[in-house]
């Protein structure tokens, strides 16, 4: 479609599982995500890998702080996705514009903040708290995009979530079921509905609010009469 090339420099389409860029490859461009979903994955020197973040439409993938020359992690499509491709030369030019620069800085700062919160979460919170954190974060991101109502279609698998939170997929699955059974959410595979954000926030804050074993949620609060 030659007629379309008005403002858009370059586009790229990805299918689920496609690698947008790979860790340690030279940084040639960055990628504002238009549709779909992407996961960021870091592979350590020993070969252990960990999902370090999820990108939603509107996020910019591949922005590296301190203009490094190689990507610090890989980006992999979770579903069919479309993104723009902004070459580093184009980026350099845009950086002259202080508004663009400020926006970029803001993005990098948000990323760094998220990364720190994740570290603390994994390092010192229980499984339920971590998951509650992720769900609240997802909800907030959707809200920031105007997609309200607490309905989220998860792009990632349980394995991805587990990796991100430093858990196993079984624990994530059980926890989601538990959250649902106490009325915090509803889930059917990828379709998530956040029913009680305040309740989730309590779970996030209180280590003992929800446990995997614990007493089953009371079916009848008058049972003892």
CB of 89 or CB of 170, closer to DNA: 170
37 in Cβ contact with 77 (< 8 Å): yes
How many residues contact a second copy, by CB under 8 A? 35
Distance CA 209, CA 220 (A): 19
CB of 213 or CB of 221, closer to DNA: 213
User: Residue 177 Cβ, how far from DNA at the closest point, in Å?
Assistant: 3
Chain Cα centroid distance, residue 106? 17
Kindly tell me which residue out of 66, 98, 219, 224 binds a second copy, with binding defined by CB under 8 A: 66
Q: Does 186 bind DNA (CB under 7 A)?
A: no
Kindly tell me which residue out of 159, 183, 193, 206 binds DNA, with binding defined by CB under 7 A: 159
Stretch that binds DNA, among 47-55, 95-103, 142-150, 155-163 (CB under 7 A): 155-163
55 in Cβ contact with 37 (< 8 Å): yes
Distance CA 132, CA 202 (A): 9
- CA angle 197–155–46, rounded 5-degree value: 105
Stretch that binds DNA, among 45-53, 64-72, 89-97, 210-218 (CB under 7 A): 210-218
Residue 182: name the closest of 202, 164, 152 by CA. Answer: 202
Helix, strand, or coil here: 207? Answer: coil
Distances in whole angstroms, Cα of residue 64 to Cα of each of 72, 95, 209 = 8, 14, 38
Pattern 125-144, binding to DNA, x per CB under 7 A? -xxx----------------
Stretch that binds DNA, among 21-29, 43-51, 86-94, 204-212 (CB under 7 A): 204-212
User: Residue 125 Cβ, how far from a second copy at the closest point, in Å?
Assistant: 7
Distances in whole angstroms, Cα of residue 218 to Cα of each of 129, 134, 169, 177, 194 = 21, 26, 26, 15, 21
SS3 content of the chain, % helix, strand, coil (to 5): 40, 25, 40
Q: Does 115 bind a second copy (CB under 8 A)?
A: yes
Kindly tell me which residue out of 187, 195, 197, 202 binds DNA, with binding defined by CB under 7 A: 187
Q: Does 49 bind DNA (CB under 7 A)?
A: no
136 in Cβ contact with 201 (< 8 Å): yes
Kindly tell me which residue out of 89, 170, 206, 218 binds DNA, with binding defined by CB under 7 A: 170
Q: Does 123 bind a second copy (CB under 8 A)?
A: yes
Site residues (CB under 8 A) for a second copy?
42, 44-46, 48-50, 52, 65-68, 72-73, 105, 108-109, 112-113, 115-125, 163, 165-166, 204-205
């Amino acid at each position: 479609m030659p007629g379309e090339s008005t403002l858009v420099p370059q586009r790229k389409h990805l299918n689920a599982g496609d690698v947008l860029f790979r860790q340690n490859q030279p940084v040639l461009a960055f990628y504002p995500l238009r549709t779909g979903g992407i996961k960021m994955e870091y592979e350590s020197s020993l070969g252990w890998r960990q999902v370090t973040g999820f990108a939603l439409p509107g996020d910019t993938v591949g922005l590296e702080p301190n203009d490094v020359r190689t990507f610090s992690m890989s980006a992999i499509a979770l579903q069919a996705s479309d993104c723009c491709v902004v070459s580093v030369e184009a980026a350099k030019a845009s950086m002259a514009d202080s508004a663009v620069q400020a926006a970029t800085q803001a993005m990098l700062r948000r990323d760094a903040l998220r990364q720190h919160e994740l570290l603390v979460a994994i390092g010192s919170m229980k499984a339920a708290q971590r998951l509650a954190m992720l769900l609240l974060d997802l909800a907030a991101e959707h809200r920031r995009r105007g997609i309200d109502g607490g309905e989220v279609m998860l792009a990632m698998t349980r394995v991805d979530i587990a990796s991100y939170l430093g858990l196993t997929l079984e624990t994530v699955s059980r926890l989601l079921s538990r959250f649902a059974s106490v009325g915090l959410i509803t889930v059917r595979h990828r379709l998530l509905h956040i029913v009680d954000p305040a309740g989730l926030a309590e779970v996030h804050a209180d280590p003992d609010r929800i446990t995997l074993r614990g007493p089953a949620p009371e079916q009848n609060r008058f049972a003892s009469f």
